[in-house]
Amino acid sequence: MRSIYKSLRYGENLSRILEKLSFYKGEKGSKPIILIHSVSVGEVLASRKFVEEIQRRFKHHQILITCTTQTGSATIKRLYGNSVFHQYMPFDLKICISRFIKIWQPEITFILETEIWPNLINLLNKQQRKVFLVNGRMSEKSFKRYKFILPILDNIFSKLNFTICQGIQDKKRFIELGIDEDRIKKDYSFKFDSISLSNEKKEFKDNNKKKKLIICASTHEPEEKILLQAFELLNNENIILVIAPRHPERFSKIFKEIKKSGINPSLFSKNELKIDYSKKINLIDEIGHLENLFSLADIAFIGGSLIPRGGQNFLEAVKFSLPISSGKSFYNFQEIAEDLIALEILEVANSAEEIKDIWKKQLSSTTDRIVEKTELYLKERQGASSRAFEYLPL
């Protein structure tokens, strides 16, 4: 009900909302279907190379990509247009999933990252349709939850035909949850394949600008308040704070809060989608521009980490060789974060004062060594999207 309420509140078409109850009225071809469930924007973006590989290898199939969020849906449409079918994944209720499978009859299903849908997996398994978990993650928090409810999940993990996970700890947790050791493989995250390396790391950067940019990406409530405090403590007129919230529905509220603090921020949408260097704070009130913003930045803060949300993707900032800061909650990207800390690319903090100290140090550091480190780090970890097909019993 919460999902339907949010869809109605933010103006989603009724036919799209009904897809979540498995009432689908869109197109459907005659070719056999390969289903890819990508949940939200992060999984959609990370799976681009994987989807391209499926399109290349399975020319006689049609791809259906599902997700659960409006932003994920918009991203699927932007990336693939009419080259794939798309609808929302219905709620994981037996009646909805049964109808969904009857409509699409997927020959092969790929579930990305952490979305364990018990009824979907059970029904696919009963119909002897192959279902794989790829690019899998299993945080300590999720593991404890699944472990607690495992008795009522009908041994769901053992019904996956094969699992490819991102980390050593992920693999151990999946095995403890019931996946056979012979049916799981560890590789790097697909997110490394979604990073297109460029020889010119700062291709959008205005090298003549006198002011430095701190981009705070994918922030959640109440992180903006803490970051504003850190910025005020920094007290440097030559630095601009750029805030890009994770959720579009929060733009207006954050804008009002910044104004209440006595600062008049620049709205990205009102400045021709450009950074306003005359304002101390820029609020990014449109999605889809993070890559260009990272290319302009001098340092980055990655949100969802000062609160127990597990953090957001670090790799877009790594692509542009940025020194990174975050809070201490990054369990969604545990191994990547630990790698970046060891390489002295990422520093973690827990308060506005600590963040200010990190920013001050990072803004005065040289970039040559970090460029070398980030390029090597990314190149060594690419290729998992293609290697997946070496492991999967298709």
pLDDT (tens digit, 9 = 90+) per residue, 94-111? Answer: 999 999 999 999 999 999
**Contact, 292 vs 200, CB < 8 A?**
no
Task: Give the pLDDT confidence score for residue 377 in this predicted structure.
Answer: 95
What average pLDDT score do residues 213-226 get? Answer: 96
> What pLDDT is stored for residue 319 in this prediction?
93
pLDDT for res 203: 43
- Coil vs helix vs strand at 147: helix
pLDDT of 288 reads: 83
Q: Is residue 202 over pLDDT 50? A: no
Give the list of residues 6+ apart from residue 71 with CB closer than 8 angstroms, or none. Answer: 40, 41, 248, 287
Q: How far apart are CA 84 and CA 90, in angstroms?
A: 18
For residues 105 and 126, the answer to whether their CB atoms sit within 8 Å is no
The answer to whether the beta carbons of residues 132 and 161 sit under 8 Å apart is yes
- Asked if 346 and 337 count as a contact pair (C-beta separation under 8 A), the reply is yes
Whether the pLDDT of residue 8 is over 60: the answer is no
Q: Report, as an integer, the average pLDDT of 332-343.
A: 94
**Beta carbons of 107 and 61 less than 8 angstroms apart:** yes
Lowest mean pLDDT among 66-70, 117-121, 199-203, 307-311: 199-203
pLDDT at residue 92 is higher than 70 = yes
What pLDDT is recorded for position 206? 52
The predicted pLDDT at position 9 comes to: 57
Per-residue confidence (pLDDT) for residue 31, from 0 to 100: 95
Q: How far apart are CA 285 and CA 244, in angstroms?
A: 7
Nearest residue to 111 via CA among 61, 68, 146: 68
Q: Which of 23-32, 55-64, 190-199 has the lowest mean pLDDT?
A: 190-199
The number of beta carbons lying within 10 Å of the beta carbon of residue 354 is 16
* Predicted confidence (pLDDT) at residue 208 exceeds the cutoff of 60: no
The model carries a pTM of: 0.84
* For range 343-364, the mean pLDDT: 96
Would you state the pLDDT for residue 209?
Answer: 65
Q: Which two tokens stand for residue 330?
A: 């990054």
Highest-scoring range by mean pLDDT, 30-44, 172-186, 246-260: 172-186
Confidence of residue 3 (pLDDT cuts 50, 70, 90): low
- Structure token pair of residue 34: 């390969």
Q: 156 and 118 in contact (C-beta within 8 Å)? A: yes
Tokens of 165: 């996970």
| Burial class of 128 by CB neighbour count within 10 A (0 to 12, 13 to 18, 19+) | exposed
Residue from 379, 394, 369 nearest 192 by CA: 379
- pLDDT, tens digit, for every residue of 231-268? 999 999 999 999 999 988 899 999 999 998 889 999 99
- So what's the pLDDT on residue 204? 46
Q: Which domains are present in the chain?
A: 9-196+382-391 (3.40.50.11720), 212-379 (3.40.50.2000)
